[in-house]
Chain A
Amino acid sequence: MNAVYQFVVGPLAWVAWTIFLGGSLLRLGLMYRSVIKKDPVVFEYMSFKYGMRSILHWITPFGTVNWRKNPAMTVATFGFHILLFLAPIFLLGHVVLWDQAFGINLPALPETVADLMAVGVIAACCFFAGRRIMLPEVSFVTSAMDWVVLVIVALPFVTGVLAYHQILNYDLMLILHILAGELMLAAIPFTRLSHMLFGFFSRAYMGSEFGAVRHAKDW
């Protein structure tokens, strides 16, 4: 078990990070080239001021008409994304890894807080799953890939919580947790999770069109 642990936390982790960072750079580079060649309109009309105006409205909870119309979704989606980033970065066990692998010193969250944050992410995933099943406008457009992506995102947190509370086999759960995390990292550039890479750009572009050309609000 120890050898497996050493492998997933060592070489495999480097592979996952390489796929994540390299893949992201590659996707961004290819997208940039496609914009230049096929959609020059995007950079022609891109405006920093209006792009940021739009982004800031949309990353503010209840900052847009549609966020206000859907309060439950707003709380779930903002909670989900904030916790999804903060919990893994500042979790005590991960802070140790940051230091070991990259020599980065980060403050650690109290363990109970981190635990609750992970549970929060799982709860949000359940909420998203519930929407996919119960809301006709979501289920109509849901395909297998949407479930795969949801599972990929939920798995590191589910296994993390199980490992932390030593439910089932701790060693196995820890390895599964690391594998799940690595799978998520590697999946970001090549699945729907790529909205992490492109979402801000599309928002900024639409904000620019609405701000500089259409002189209208896009929120």
Chain B
Amino acid sequence: MKTITGHISKRKIDDVGLQHGVDNLTPDRIQEVVQQVLKGETGARLQAYSEMCVRCGLCSEACHFYLSHDNDPSYSPVGKVKQTIWPLLKNNGRVSPEFVYQMAQVAYTECNLCKRCVQYCPFGIDTAYMMQIVRRICHKLGVTPQYLQDTAQSHAATMNQMWVKDDEWTDSLQWQEEEARDEIPDLRIPLDKEGADIFYSVIGPEPKFRTQLIYQAAVLMHVTGQNWTMPSTPGWDNSDMAMYSGDYEIMGRLKQKHFESAMDLRCKRIVMGECGHAFRSVYDVGNRWLGWKSYPIKVMHAIEFYWELLETGKLKVAKTFDKTVTLHDPCNIVRGRGLHEKAREVLRAFCPNFIEMTPNREHNYCCSAGGGVINCGPPFKKTRVSGNTVKADQLRNTGAEICVAPCHNCHGGLEDIIHDNKLDMKLMFLIDIIYECMEK
């Protein structure tokens, strides 16, 4: 295998958002904004990370982009830092608009912020953090991929990710309630129920095109006898692409609205659907931006909730799922919350034919869709799919018929990888299997 050393300047991808953004830039303006962010929003961490990195390259093997491009060093974590933040620091922010285009392309589309590289750096240098700083600068410069920006705009205007109108949201819920009542006649999706134990929140794509997940969650809640609710007004969407575009002001508004919706209804805890990035935003990032060390109300990801239901005997297995099943560990709930063993316990309860993929748990390869990369849209689809052949090999090697990916972004990304590599594998959410095999 011959390694070809590439460079971001040799693989420019046209994007209206990025191009329009840099067209408006001058070196003076760039320097002003870079310094604003570096001086105002960064400190010891960035300084220490950039200074003491000994350029050993040990992080390289952590990155699926690097591995999938025949070890091209321009895709390695430290290689990305070299092509973005180091020149910014060295030149005190005085770089060309073309450089800004390139650093935006690296930070938004060639890094999923999955933090696998953090586990491979002897000093624990957080490359994802540095890529987020680059994104923050790009956002402030108005240089963001068009599709991602559109999503952030939707967040700002509607408080949800997919331009779902307020009446469409409740319509979708009522529609799913009605469907589910064919199966369970007294099922309800309780809206705005004050004092409910559980405030259940989902991401924008659920009412938009994955409505079956709301149906299945409602069945699970009903059958296990939960006192639960969903809000009828904005605050229902826990997702957050603003976090990934670098628009932290919007991220703060979103998280505040989400927390406040649950608190206004005096719910005891928030249970979130099977989404990874939304969990990261609520559990680890947005709360900090708002000044909460943890969060004002207990937050729980769906996997932990399923596990709890199983442990307490409320969720019972009626039949086993007989196909061979493997599990993809999503970064934001495994490397981000350590739910890998709980996910396995739930899965094993239903699936006797469980096959581990290798590597797994905290060391699983990323789906290459997360970190907002899939939300950068069609122009960058090839970047993330061909940038993750290592994932295709990993999936293929399991020989499993089903891959469970308890995360929306992972689903989107893996779907493309499976299709592109012609793998004979079907994707499912954990709730798909639970719904199919639980005692109702």
Contacts and interface: CB of A to CB of B under 8 A. Distances in A.
B74 A214 contact: no
B124 A42 contact: no
A140 B79 contact: yes
Nearest to B339: A215
A42 B45 contact: yes
Contact of B54 (A37, A146, A218): A146
B5 interface: yes
B120 interface: yes
A206 B48 contact: no
A198 B48 contact: yes
Contacts of A73: 56, 58
Contacts of B78: 137, 141
Interface residues of B, number: 50
Contacts of A143: 55
Contact of B119 (A37, A65, A139, A149): A65
Given A44-B293, A136-B3, A54 B336 contact: no
Interface in B121-135: 122-126
A192 B54 contact: yes
B119 A146 contact: no
Given A140-B82, A202-B49, A217-B119, A38 B44 contact: yes
Nearest to B283: A213
Contacts of B62: 66
Among A66, A69, A137, A219, residue most surrounded by chain B Cβ atoms (within 10 Å): A137
B322 interface: no
B47 A31 contact: yes
B368 to A, nearest CB: 19
B224 to A, nearest CB: 25
Among B43, B49, B338, residue most surrounded by chain A Cβ atoms (within 10 Å): B43
A113 B290 CA distance: 58
Contacts of B41: 38
A198 B288 CA distance: 24
A34 B73 contact: no
Interface in B56-108: 56-58, 60-62, 66, 71-74, 76, 78-79, 81-82
Contacts of B247: none
B118 interface: yes
A70 interface: yes
A136 B340 CA distance: 34
Interface string B355-390: 000000011000000000000000000000000000
A199 interface: yes
A135 interface: yes
Given A140-B76, A216-B335, A39 B44 contact: yes
A31 B119 contact: no
A140 B5 CA distance: 8
Interface in A28-44: 31, 34-35, 37-39, 41-42, 44
Nearest to B334: A216
B411 to A, nearest CB: 21
Interface in B180-217: none
A136 B5 contact: yes
A199 B53 CA distance: 9
A34 B47 contact: yes
Interface in A100-156: 131, 135-143, 146, 149
A215 B55 contact: no
B61 A69 contact: yes
Given A136-B5, A207-B124, A194 B55 contact: no
Nearest to A208: B124
B42 interface: yes
A66 B293 CA distance: 31
A198 B52 contact: yes
Given A34-B47, A142-B55, 12 more contacts: A31-B48, A34-B43, A35-B43, A39-B43, A136-B3, A137-B79, A141-B79, A192-B54, A194-B52, A195-B52, A210-B118, A219-B119
Interface of B: 3, 5, 41-45, 47-49, 51-58, 60-62, 66, 71-74, 76, 78-79, 81-82, 118-120, 122-126, 284, 288, 293, 334-338, 340, 362-363
